[in-house]
Amino acid sequence: MKEGMNQDKIQELNKSLVLNLIREEGVCSRALLSKLSGLNKATITYTVNEFILSECVEETGLLSNGKGRRSIGITLSDKKYYVIGIRLARTYFKVASFNLRGEMEDLRRIEISEDNPAEITFKEIIKVILSFIEQNQFRKLLLVGMAIPGPFFKDRGKIGVLTGGRRFEQIDFKEKLENQLNIKVIVEHDAKAGAFAQLWYDKEIDKKNSLIYVAAGEGIGAGIIIDQKIVYGELGTAGEIGHMTIDYRGELCECGNRGCLEKYCSLLSVRSRLKEAKGKKYSLKEIKEMIKGDDIEVINIYRESCRYLGYGIVNIVNTYNPTVIILGDELTHVDQEIMLNEVDKVLKERLLPEIYEKLTVKISGAVKDSVLHGIGAMCTKKVFDNYSMFF
């Protein structure tokens, strides 16, 4: 019995390996799959034929290997299966469908009213998901994933405290979604999903390197990846840099602490400071336009926020010594040049020269919304790692 279970596990790992190789290559031959995977040609032939029968891959026609020989191409199929990714933020949520190649097929964004109770928002999310299912009646929804802000206690599946959005605390999103949809659901911290998107989509990333994805959006968080694995910590809250203290006498935070980083450099803090300075609330689009229009007051507020983010990144670099820091999310994309320049200045000033010189800092650009694409990719990986989910 034990030997049979071991053999089943080996077959499952082989299938996951081959599916991921097909995804990475886009289109490839059976011979290339054998070479890349280290599996013999008979195993590859058997595995690919099984994939074709289950309709998760399809043949694309003849490929040339440059030596006069031609072989049949294999690619992931977008015809029968899909996954759904949800991103919950403080002031909006997004729902998107993805095919097995990781390509976004449909996207909806819904604004969340400040006075909306959590239950209303949850019903709106369900409504959008059901509309996606209705549109895809002849395809199978394999998995739903939800990325949520933190601190997120992964063991309990609940948000601990959420600045600017406390109505979402202590909700078990996984349980509620599974009860409503009757389908498996995974829930992940938004910054960790964003970090995973870098591995999944960014072809320039050396996967052997340690990286930290900094999600500078309505809140601040970090996804830490070492040896191609996300760092969670004991309760799943590793990377919660938004509640790192940078001023022990600073502003009181909803978490009960003082001087938390996200009070100085999140999009919500930028909006709050602009309201104090100019007397009205500004949208993200308006902030971008004012910076493009050389509004000095807005530019200075944004620059200072970027510098504060740099101070937080100094702490996390000194703690984890990553190879790459990737800056992403809404605040980063207000003005990428200002963001990168200000963060880099702080890192150069505050890090040891040896550490700074070995560190690469870049703006996330592989996909438009790393968090949303990341949770979709996590769903697809979960399916690839558990081949039985196709049935």
pTM of the model: 0.94
Nearby residues of 14 by Cβ (< 8 Å), 6 or more positions away: 37, 39, 43, 47
pLDDT score at 160: 87
State the virtual CA torsion across 216, 222, 223, 224 in degrees, nearest 10: 140
Question: Which domains does the chain show, CATH number per domain?
Answer: 5-74 (1.10.10.10), 79-191+368-387 (3.30.420.40), 203-361 (3.30.420.40)
Instruction: Say if residue 221's pLDDT is above 50.
Output: yes
Q: Which two tokens stand for residue 66?
A: 């440059």
Length of the chain: 391
pLDDT band at 62 (very low <50, low <70, confident <90, very high): confident
- Supply the DSSP symbol for 236: S
pLDDT band at 65 (very low <50, low <70, confident <90, very high): low
pLDDT score at 35: 96
pLDDT in tens, 324-351: 999 999 999 999 999 999 999 999 999 9
Instruction: Say if residue 1's pLDDT is above 70.
Output: no
Residues in a beta bridge with 83: 98
pLDDT score at 84: 99
**Residue closest to 96 by CA, chosen among 370, 389, 364:** 370
Distance CA 45, CA 2 (A): 26
Instruction: Say if residue 64's pLDDT is above 90.
Output: no
State the virtual CA torsion across 33, 37, 40, 41 in degrees, nearest 10: -10
Nearby residues of 253 by Cβ (< 8 Å), 6 or more positions away: 163, 243, 259, 260, 262, 263
Distance CA 287, CA 264 (A): 17
pLDDT score at 2: 47
pLDDT in tens, 8-30: 889 999 999 999 999 999 999 99
pLDDT in tens, 107-138: 999 999 888 888 899 999 999 999 999 999 99
Across all residues in the chain, what is the average pLDDT?
A: 94
- The SS3 of residue 188 is strand
- The SS3 of residue 225 is strand
Distance CA 217, CA 293 (A): 22
pLDDT in tens, 256-312: 999 999 999 999 999 999 999 999 989 999 999 999 999 999 999 999 999 999 999
pLDDT score at 117: 87
